[in-house]
Structure 1
Amino acid sequence: MKSVLKGEQIFEERPFTHILDHSQQGRRCHYCLERSEHLKKCTACGFLRYCSLTCQRCDWPVHRKECPCLKQVSPNVPLDSVRLMLRILIRTQLLEKEDHSTTETVWRRSFNDLMSHIDEIQEDPGRSQQFVQIVYTLRGLCQGQLDLPPVKQLMEVFGRVTINSFTICDGDLQSVGVGLYLGASYLDHSCQPNAVVSFQGQKLMVRALMDIPEVSPSNIFISYTDQLSFTEDRQRQLKEQYYFSCQCTRCQDNSLDRLMKSFVCPVPTCTGAVCRTEVGELLPCGSCGMNSYDESYRRKVEETFHHLIQDLQQIEQAKKAKDLDKVLSLCQKCLHPDTVSVLHSYNLLHVQALDRGLDVAIDLELWEQALSYGLQLIPLYIKVYPAASPQVGLLLLKVGKLELYLQRLEHALQHLQQGESIIRITHGRFHELYRQLSELISQCTDELRTHMEHSKPS
């Protein structure tokens, strides 16, 4: 087995099939998933758009059977989950004429090799109902155009797609599509991964986050969840989505969870943290050992906790409604000094409020406020996320861009270079995100040099 060093690419893969998110309709090519201002519609169905004739031709083997299905339900558009199932069914019907395995022998796999978890899906009311709805829609979509397999076989396909699909993200980790990657579906989960997945258009790449002596599907681990969450939330998501529990070192160690549930110790001379449990119990302070809390402190912790939960829920509702001013107002409320004085800085509610505040301040072009939130987030992200996490690299990039715009050049260069050291590992030197970051570093270096030359005494 070959070995790889930290930052090296383990393998890359094109999707078995994929779809563009409906939210990206009109912004990106349905085949390559790249942004384009010159998209041309398929003249038959009027739904799919391509950036070039090349992309249209590459997609034609599948779309030629998909096209009449979409055309007969136009102007209605099937849900993304239905479109992905339709494309999978078309691809599996084409397998008799195609080599459907991945190129590298160690990662070679066929669609039928994927686990379907049919037993778990049949016992899962939510998933079972989703399957029924998809089959109902598919029957109307494919009527007279495509023969559907028996229900049991459809459920096998549904299970394989549901369990093994990847969310395709852009450089900012925003979802742009969903794809099924046969080789990458080998990779198991760990909340302390030794590898990371990134995308360039539809192409998936797996890179090493640390030196790996022997590369094989059994010892490469990626994260299926966001580490900016409690262990019980990650475990619940893994159980509901993938039907397994994680036993990694992070899940076995509750020290970070305790910190993310902590409030400031009431002892004036102590800088420690008091953990609040799910049932509201306050555990002894991790630093001074304080374990007897007066009623006023308990009440203040409970009020702060419940108000923050409600405000963060309202923030998510306001985001969906695209009411940015309300999002900002709620974030400012969550980050009021009276609230922050009670929260430990690593408390997840505090981190989430800062995270939402950073994004909305950028959207509203409130650069100084965005920078303030971003600078507070950096040490918190570094603490919560594993080493060389793309989320940390992207935060450093955001902060560096803000500082560059605000002409805080020395700090900008420092943060951009720190971001570069991570993005080089997670995305590689040939990724578009790395190219953009390198250009920002060059721009910042040139402006800093010019500034220093002008500052020299004549």
Structure 2
Amino acid sequence: MKNKYRNTDSAIKAGELLLNEQPFVFVLSSKEKGSRCDNCLEKGKVLKCSGCQFVHYCGRSCQKDAWPDHKWECANLKRVAPKVIPDAARMLAKIINKLSRGDGHSYRAFYTGNSFRMWKDLMSHYSDLKTDKKRMDHFSSLCMVLFEFLKDLSLPNTVELMGMYGRMVINSFTILDIDMNSIGTGIYLAASILDHSCNPNAVATFDGRTISIRATKDLTCLDWSQIRISYIDLMKTPYERQTELLENYYFLCQCDRCMDETQLKMVHAGKCLNTSCDSPVQIPWKENCQLVRKPDNNTNGASETVESESNHNGLADELTANISEANDVIRCDECRTKYTDKHVEDFVKAMEFTELHLQSMKEASVAYVDVCKYCLERQEGVLHPLNVMHAQTLDHAFDALIQVQLWQKACVYADMLIPCFRFYYGDRHPLLGLLHLKYGKILLYQMDLDKALNHFKLSEKILKITHGDKHPLYREELMPLLRQAMMESSSM
């Protein structure tokens, strides 16, 4: 499983492939069991392994290809059946097996002609794990599962096992299908060299289990220490992004985007009451609402201060200017339009209502059309169009409307959602390209050909950069639709 990588450090154009890599170990998500091949991860008709009756393959070729790694697991899965082994336990078991029986310790994953990463090069954050109760509880539960599952293999001692666990949770990539849905987890040794930024210059995409790293911006040269991808979803407040990164990767993100004053003004902004003014209005709506974490300069970054809506740098003076001398009247900083107590109350209620229902939809892992509709009705004319809660509600609503095939309303929300995606994800993000593609498909179905063609072309510009013109999403999904739209539009 040799890697493909860029073999020159000359200037890079957006869309160029930097790295193509097979996983060190990987597992198909249990929710995809029976619908995807456990080897190539393709969706379709699959057959059970005759031994364990647990994993599935799309054909004899994949079964044969997977057998060297599966044969030890096959017997163990059969022995513990009908118990289902959690995905994380299967992943850790595969790591243990590869390190103890295979070439795991010696395997080199090259990202240049003479630069490579090995398993030992991955960070385990051992000391951070020991103080992380949630992770330690998870580790303890996995140990109990592994003790029962790996009867034929001696487990490493606790220190070694926790080091393996740390390397696994810190360095795993979520494997995505062409619709950017999670279908599995993999460890990619070479790709693990990439650091995070909320304003990345590269993107990781997947074709089956293969990861590809492509530049999304023009770069003067290939310097792997300067290549950045995003580890997380970006459509959140800087504080939420920083918190997620702290909890999962143990670092405080201080990228230029997290510290950007423009974004801080926008994420919880109200809409100006002056219909001809697009300026965001800062309205305190929750006590100690935290927007960003900043390092404490007095302690050399060892701890951080939390900046709220009413005190973060750069906005404090602006918010003070928004409040009149004695009456605490909130005004638009741009046009000075005054907010009444009733307007402020409407904003606070809309934010509280939206926050509550976004959380419930997140926990349910599903969006509800009626709930989204009620939230958007409360937000209309109250929340700024780029307010992050408004953007998240639109995103849920668009997906929910597609599920129930309410195409006309989905189009309305798609038009509102596109500027939000551009603001939070940037102009060259796979999710923006996918949004244009989905919107174009709906418009083509409705025979709005000119508009459909426009969105397919916008999608093509993005996906050619993020995925490349050989990827199935580009070649088999987008291009046939683009050609169909062009043919039907020319025949009208």
TM-score of the two chains, using structure 2 as the length reference: 0.86
1:232 Cα deviation after fit: 0.5
Match of 1:424 in 2: 464
Residues in 2 aligned to 1:357 and 1:170: alpha-carbon distance in whole angstroms:
21
Residues in 1 aligned to 2:343 and 2:238: alpha-carbon distance in whole angstroms:
26
CA 317–129 in structure 1, closer or farther in 2 if over 3 Å, else same: closer
Match of 1:359 in 2: 399
CA 11–50 in structure 1, closer or farther in 2 if over 3 Å, else same: same
CA 242–75 in structure 1, closer or farther in 2 if over 3 Å, else same: same
1:349 Cα deviation after fit: 1.3
1:200 partnered with 2:207:
yes
Maintained 8 Å contact 2:277/2:335: no
Maintained 8 Å contact 1:340/1:350: no
1:90 partnered with 2:97:
yes
Match of 1:114 in 2: 122
Maintained 8 Å contact 2:104/2:119: no
Match of 2:27 in 1: 19
Instruction: Select the residue among 361, 367, 371 that pairs with 1:330.
Output: 371
Instruction: Select the residue among 410, 413, 426 that pairs with 2:450.
Output: 410
1:318 Cα deviation after fit: 4.9
Residues in 1 aligned to 2:103 and 2:484: alpha-carbon distance in whole angstroms:
53
Secondary structure, counterpart of 1:251 in structure 2: coil
Match of 1:454 in 2: none
Residues in 2 aligned to 1:386 and 1:268: alpha-carbon distance in whole angstroms:
26
Maintained 8 Å contact 2:105/2:118: no
Secondary structure, counterpart of 1:166 in structure 2: strand
CA 269–396 in structure 1, closer or farther in 2 if over 3 Å, else same: closer
Maintained 8 Å contact 2:433/2:462: yes
Residues in 2 aligned to 1:415 and 1:54: alpha-carbon distance in whole angstroms:
39
Instruction: Select the residue among 180, 185, 190 that pairs with 1:178.
Output: 185
Q: Which deviations, in whole Å up to 9, do the C-alpha atoms of 1:233-279 show, x marking residues without a partner?
A: 11001111000112211112131132121111245664422123553
For this pair of structures, how many residues does the alignment match?
Answer: 443
Residues in 2 aligned to 1:379 and 1:424: alpha-carbon distance in whole angstroms:
20
Match of 1:153 in 2: 160
Q: How does 1:26-41 map to 2 (within 5 A)?
A: 26-37=34-45, 39-41=46-48
1:133 partnered with 2:141:
yes
Q: Which amino acid in structure 2 is aligned with residue 388 of structure 1?
A: R
1:350 Cα deviation after fit: 1.1
CA 412–292 in structure 1, closer or farther in 2 if over 3 Å, else same: closer
Secondary structure, counterpart of 1:305 in structure 2: helix
Match of 2:306 in 1: none
CA 71–236 in structure 1, closer or farther in 2 if over 3 Å, else same: same
Match of 1:372 in 2: 412
1:4 Cα deviation after fit: 2.1
Residues in 2 aligned to 1:219 and 1:184: alpha-carbon distance in whole angstroms:
13
Q: Which deviations, in whole Å up to 9, do the C-alpha atoms of 1:29-71 show, x marking residues without a partner?
A: 101111121x121111110111122211221122111112111
Q: Which amino acid in structure 1 is aligned with residue 128 of structure 2?
A: E
Secondary structure, counterpart of 2:183 in structure 1: strand
Match of 1:305 in 2: 351
Match of 1:45 in 2: 52
Instruction: Select the residue among 400, 404, 409 that pairs with 2:440.
Output: 400
Residues in 1 aligned to 2:332 and 2:21: alpha-carbon distance in whole angstroms:
46
Secondary structure, counterpart of 1:298 in structure 2: helix
Q: Which amino acid in structure 1 is aligned with residue 43 of structure 2?
A: R
Maintained 8 Å contact 1:107/1:183: no
Match of 2:77 in 1: 70
Q: Which amino acid in structure 2 is aligned with residue 397 of structure 1?
A: L
Match of 1:448 in 2: 489
- The CA RMSD over aligned residues, in Å, is 1.9
1:98 Cα deviation after fit: 8.3
Q: Which deviations, in whole Å up to 9, do the C-alpha atoms of 1:98-129 show, x marking residues without a partner?
A: 85112444551111111100000000010111
Range with greater deviation from structure 2 (80-89 or 90-99): 90-99
Q: Which amino acid in structure 2 is aligned with residue 110 of structure 1?
A: M
Maintained 8 Å contact 2:274/2:337: no
Match of 1:264 in 2: 271
CA 410–96 in structure 1, closer or farther in 2 if over 3 Å, else same: closer
Residues in 2 aligned to 1:11 and 1:286: alpha-carbon distance in whole angstroms:
48
Residues in 1 aligned to 2:236 and 2:281: alpha-carbon distance in whole angstroms:
18
Maintained 8 Å contact 1:17/1:87: yes
Maintained 8 Å contact 2:98/2:104: no
Residues in 2 aligned to 1:307 and 1:354: alpha-carbon distance in whole angstroms:
15
Residues in 2 aligned to 1:56 and 1:286: alpha-carbon distance in whole angstroms:
64
1:58 partnered with 2:65:
yes
Residues in 1 aligned to 2:420 and 2:103: alpha-carbon distance in whole angstroms:
52
Uncovered stretches (5+) of structure 2, i.e. residues with no partner = 1-8, 290-308, 311-318, 323-330
1:225 partnered with 2:232:
yes
Q: Which deviations, in whole Å up to 9, do the C-alpha atoms of 1:180-226 show, x marking residues without a partner?
A: 00000000011111110000000000001112222132111111111
Q: Which amino acid in structure 1 is aligned with residue 397 of structure 2?
A: G
Q: Which amino acid in structure 2 is aligned with residue 232 of structure 1?
A: Y
Secondary structure, counterpart of 2:12 in structure 1: coil
CA 391–399 in structure 1, closer or farther in 2 if over 3 Å, else same: same
More helix by share: 1
Residues in 1 aligned to 2:455 and 2:218: alpha-carbon distance in whole angstroms:
25
Maintained 8 Å contact 1:106/1:217: no
Range with greater deviation from structure 2 (82-91 or 99-108): 99-108
Maintained 8 Å contact 2:110/2:117: no
Secondary structure, counterpart of 2:459 in structure 1: helix
Q: Which deviations, in whole Å up to 9, do the C-alpha atoms of 1:313-368 show, x marking residues without a partner?
A: 23335545xxx7xx1110111111x5311111111111111111110111111111
Match of 1:314 in 2: 360
Match of 1:348 in 2: 388
Maintained 8 Å contact 2:92/2:168: yes
Match of 1:456 in 2: none
Q: Which amino acid in structure 2 is aligned with residue 124 of structure 1?
A: D
